[in-house]
Amino acid sequence: MHPTQRAILDLARTRNLGTMKLREIAFAIDEDLPQTVKYHLDKLIKKGLLEKLGTNDIRAVNPESEIDGLVKIPLLGQANCGQALIYAPDDIQGFLPVSPSILNTRQYQDLFAVQAVGHSMNASDIDGKSIQEGDYVIAKKMPFYEEGIYIVATFEGLANVKRIVMDHNNGHVILQSESLDPMPPIYIGNADIDRLQVHGRVIQVLKNPKYAVTV
């Protein structure tokens, strides 16, 4: 995310930007040009990170509540379901609007989504659904991980969706693929475990429309 957009979004969490002039916003975020503020303000509204509720009402979206009957789940970009070749962003790219009746949880806090890239999890089973390329993977942030669960994790800043397996005998953490094609796992030794960051447990898969069954 552009630093100016991040600064505007941070300000919007404490102020109603709709009541502020562009010059006031620019002064508050230490930006010289009001037109630069307008450009990035429009970008944030287009991304869905800000909501323009009226002429004098522009606020940051609260992903922990229902808006217009939809839960807006933060979308953190893409995570690879193959080799870890895609860098995971460290901020919200937008929101995935989902009807509450679709979600298998009523605890919306700490949910996030990534879009799957690759085919190494196309034989996985999350409530009867596999993860195909383009699918949206819904995860819940967690302070720890358990053996055998599906996770969204980064290693050296590279994002992956995998099943985590503990090899206690050999002192390895294994990030296991589940694919219809042979896919090698990722082995991480105890000496490097601090470079692995588990962001959340996969709780649901929302199918990309290209894989959805039409009726």
3-state secondary structure 142-196: CCCCCCCCEEEEEECCEEEEEEEEEECCCCEEEEECCCCCCCCCEEEEHHHHHHE
DSSP state of 30: T
pTM reported for the whole predicted model: 0.74
Residue of higher predicted confidence among 87 and 132: 132
Ordered by where they begin, the domains of the chain are 3-60 (1.10.10), 66-208 (2.10.109.10)
Residue 212 has pLDDT above 80, yes or no: no
Q: Quick one: how far is CA 54 from the chain centroid? A: 28
Residue 40's SS3 state is: helix
User: How many percent of the chain have pLDDT more than 90?
Assistant: 39
Distance from first CA to last CA of the chain, Å, rounded?
39
pLDDT in tens, 147-167: 899 999 988 888 899 999 998
